[in-house]
């Protein structure tokens, strides 16, 4: 169970807001962001409260799409701001709030909490229930990686960094001057592998690509990526040189010696 206390003490910004043109003419020189397919998906989502979403709302207007959850503290402030925007711009602006991530709060009374949230804010704009397909279409699935990491856990990781760095340096750099390691455990991806139209797949790939570099970044150690030729399909290969703190000059000398 994730308690209210944790989220009051450590509110993570879980509400994602997208500002977009509903048509190519809505913003000068902009591309069509809301495709016909995505508009259809939005119109098919279950309506919760506020004015029902119509096709006219998504035609030729600047549209704000927000993703929210009732247990998310910043979402309370967000709904207040959305109400102010609706008052200021009226029918010239379409506002749409999509309820996603509700289940990540791990509360038994999710439906009741959502009703209380909406009763408190009384939104006049359309509020609908989201699903993974629409969420992924906007790329907000990438937010899931940090949804259940409250600030207290982040601060704990920051506190542990210094002793872990000291232990790593003692166990490694007492024996060697520079650590030679691969950059990635897989070949470089192709453009099709990081297709922005498949954000969940691209996010998964990016997570795997950083497996061997994230620990070094966390410890705040200097590292140098060095090109070392090509793999059979013609894409470049490389390795990383890792040094103790403030050893950048040494890493550059090693890299230069390798390439000379």
Residue 11 pLDDT: 36
d(CA 133, CA 38): 10
Helix and strand counts by DSSP (H, E) for the chain: 9, 8
Give the model confidence (pLDDT) of 58-81 as tens digits. Answer: 887 888 888 888 888 888 888 999
The residue assigned the tokens 């166990």 is: 171
DSSP-derived 3-state class of residue 195: coil
Nearest to 243 by CA among 214, 210, 221, 226: 221
Domain residue spans in the chain? Answer: 4-146, 158-259
Q: Of 9, 4, 63, 6, give the one whose Cα is nearest residue 34.
A: 63
Tokens found for residue 242 = 């890792």
Beta strands per DSSP E along 69-131:
93-99, 126-129
pLDDT of residue 197: 59
- Nearest CA-CA partner of 4 in 102, 76, 99, 71: 71
Per-residue model confidence (pLDDT) at position 83: 93
Q: What is the pLDDT of residue 151?
A: 73
Task: Count how many Cα atoms sit within 13 Å of the Cα of residue 123 in the half-sphere of its side chain.
Answer: 32
pLDDT at 225: 95
pTM: 0.53
The pair of three-digit structure tokens given for residue 92, joined into one six-digit string: 């010239």
**Fold assignment, 4-146:** Glutaredoxin (3.40.30)
Low-confidence ranges of the chain (pLDDT < 70): 1-33, 104-106, 139-148, 150, 195-204
Q: What is the pLDDT of residues 186-199, one digit of tens each?
A: 888 887 777 655 55
Token duo for residue 26? 């809505």
User: Quick one: pLDDT at residue 91?
Assistant: 86
């Amino acid at each position: 169970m994730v308690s209210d206390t944790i989220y009051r003490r450590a509110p993570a910004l879980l509400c994602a807001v997208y500002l977009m043109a509903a048509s190519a003419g809505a913003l000068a020189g902009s591309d069509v962001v809301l495709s016909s397919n995505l508009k259809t998906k939005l119109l098919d989502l279950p309506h919760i409260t506020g004015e029902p979403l119509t096709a006219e709302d998504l035609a030729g207007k600047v549209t704000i799409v927000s993703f929210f959850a009732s247990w998310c503290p910043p979402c309370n402030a967000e709904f207040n701001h959305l109400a102010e925007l609706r008052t200021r711009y009226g029918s010239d602006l379409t506002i749409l709030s999509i309820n996603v991530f509700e289940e990540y709060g791990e509360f038994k009374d999710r439906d009741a909490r959502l009703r209380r949230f909406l009763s408190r804010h009384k939104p006049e704009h359309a509020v609908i229930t989201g699903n993974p397909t629409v969420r992924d279409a906007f790329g907000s699935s990438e937010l899931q990686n940090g949804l259940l990491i409250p600030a207290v856990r982040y601060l704990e990781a920051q506190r542990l960094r210094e002793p872990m760095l000291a232990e790593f340096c003692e166990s490694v750099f007492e024996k060697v001057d520079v650590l030679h390691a691969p950059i990635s455990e897989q070949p470089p991806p192709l453009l099709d592998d990081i297709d922005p139209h498949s954000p969940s797949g691209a996010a998964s790939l990016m997570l795997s690509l950083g497996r061997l570099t994230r620990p070094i970044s966390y410890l705040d150690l200097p590292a140098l990526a060095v090109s070392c030729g090509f793999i059979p399909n013609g894409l470049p290969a490389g390795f990383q040189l890792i040094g103790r703190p403030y050893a950048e000059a040494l890493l550059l000398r090693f890299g230069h010696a390798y390439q000379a």
